[in-house]
């Protein structure tokens, strides 16, 4: 019997132990190679794209010979204004990609000795990059779609008669995650209030002429006019007449394990980033740990600073909120 790839040595090309012994200079060079992979780690000015750079000996900063502006390995990226050592950032990337069902901020804080608020922001920055990397992607061929409810928390009542369905958004916190997944291809996820709201998104993100597999939910009836549809009634079978949504269900299984087993609570405003993270994990599940580490680092260092995550814990009330409070 052939050995599964994830159990082979080829899948373990980078571990946390490989990063623990790095010096700060070596970690800085590794981060530079991630950001400027096209030039082999040689810095390029983020302001004017000039490759002619001065390097300071006493500090890990650079100066552009053209515009004379200083910058660092994290300037103009999601990690701009960082205060953590470079080695700690690399270790955080390693822990993040190796957690196949997601990584909670409390767990990362314990592993690296960080405050939970610091770990929370540090984890959301790669999630922001992973979600943005697929924002313009289009699927084609055979695509599976499905929807499921996530986010918030519905506390079960003591008496059965008082309980409400957890799959329904009666409490106003839960949202519907709709996944679109190519067979042996890319995975896209979007967050909507109801499945029917995802129909125009599906029409934009899936190319015409594709074969779309879906369940018997009425929300997908409108797609018959656009795509070649194959429907499966899950009350009768998982797969029948060549139609199934097993890969979409596999994505939901990973996201459900992350919600229940790792994070325990996913806030509504952040659900889209968690959904995007799990879509990226599904696409990279057959890649070696080193490839996942480099891909995550390059996406994070290639993304501009995020306004929502800059000063997240120091944000002030808006003027209209101050007026209401008064």
How do the domains of the chain map onto residue ranges?
23-74, 82-132+285-310, 142-271
pTM of the model: 0.90
Q: Out of 3.40.5, 3.90.120, 3.30.420, 3.30.70, which CATH number does the structure's domain 142-271 have?
A: 3.30.420
324 has pLDDT over 50: no
Mean residue pLDDT of the chain comes to 90
Q: What is the mean pLDDT of residues 233-261?
A: 91
The pLDDT confidence band at residue 113, using thresholds 50, 70 and 90, is: very high
Contact 216, 232 (CB under 8 A): yes
Question: According to the model, what pLDDT value does residue 174 have?
Answer: 83
Q: Is 52 exposed, middle or buried (0-12, 13-18, 19+ CB in 10 A)?
A: exposed
The pLDDT confidence band at residue 318, using thresholds 50, 70 and 90, is: very low
Question: According to the model, what pLDDT value does residue 83 have?
Answer: 93
Question: According to the model, what pLDDT value does residue 22 have?
Answer: 94
Kindly report the length of the chain: 326
Give the strand order in the sheet containing 70-71: 53-55, 62-64, 70-71
326 has pLDDT over 60: no
119 has pLDDT over 80: yes
Range name among 70-79, 120-129, 264-273 with the lowest pLDDT average:
264-273
> 308, 297, 304: which is closest to 86 by C-alpha?
297
The pLDDT confidence band at residue 165, using thresholds 50, 70 and 90, is: low
| Opening angle at CA 261, ends 129 and 120, nearest 5 | 40
C-alpha to C-alpha distances, 234 to 168, 182, 192, 215, nearest whole angstrom:
18, 20, 22, 7
What distance in Å separates the CA atoms of residue 10 and residue 237, rounded to the nearest whole number? 37
């Amino acid at each position: 019997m052939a050995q599964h790839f994830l159990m082979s040595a080829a899948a373990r090309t980078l571990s946390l132990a490989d990063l623990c012994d790095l010096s700060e200079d070596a970690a800085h060079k590794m981060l530079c190679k991630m950001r400027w992979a096209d030039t082999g780690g040689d810095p390029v000015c983020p302001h004017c794209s000039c490759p002619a750079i001065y390097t300071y000996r006493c500090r890990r900063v650079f100066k552009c010979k053209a515009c004379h502006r200083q910058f660092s390995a994290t300037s103009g990226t999601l990690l701009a204004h960082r205060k953590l050592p470079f080695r700690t950032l690399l270790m955080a990337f390693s822990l993040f990609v190796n957690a196949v069902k997601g990584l909670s901020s409390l767990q990362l804080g314990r592993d690296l000795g960080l405050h939970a608020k610091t770990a929370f922001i540090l984890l959301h920055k790669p999630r922001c990059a992973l979600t943005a990397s697929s924002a313009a992607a289009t699927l084609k061929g055979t695509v599976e779609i499905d929807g499921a409810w996530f986010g918030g928390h519905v506390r079960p009542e003591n008496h059965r008669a008082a309980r409400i369905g957890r799959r329904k958004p009666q409490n106003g916190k839960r949202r519907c995650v709709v996944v679109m997944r190519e067979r042996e291809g890319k995975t896209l996820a979007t967050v909507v209030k109801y499945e029917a709201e995802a129909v125009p998104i599906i029409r934009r993100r899936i190319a015409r002429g594709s074969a779309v597999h879906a369940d018997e939910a009425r929300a997908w009836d409108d797609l018959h006019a656009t795509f070649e549809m194959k429907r499966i009634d899950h009350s009768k079978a998982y797969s029948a007449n060549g139609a199934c949504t097993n890969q979409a269900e596999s994505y939901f299984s990973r996201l459900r394990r992350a919600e229940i087993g790792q994070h325990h609570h996913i806030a509504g405003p952040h659900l889209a980033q968690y959904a995007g993270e799990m879509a990226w994990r599904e696409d990279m599940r057959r890649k070696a740990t080193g490839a996942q580490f480099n891909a995550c680092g390059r996406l994070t260092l290639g993304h501009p600073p995020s306004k929502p995550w800059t000063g997240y814990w120091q944000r002030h009330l808006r003027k209209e909120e101050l007026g209401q409070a008064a």
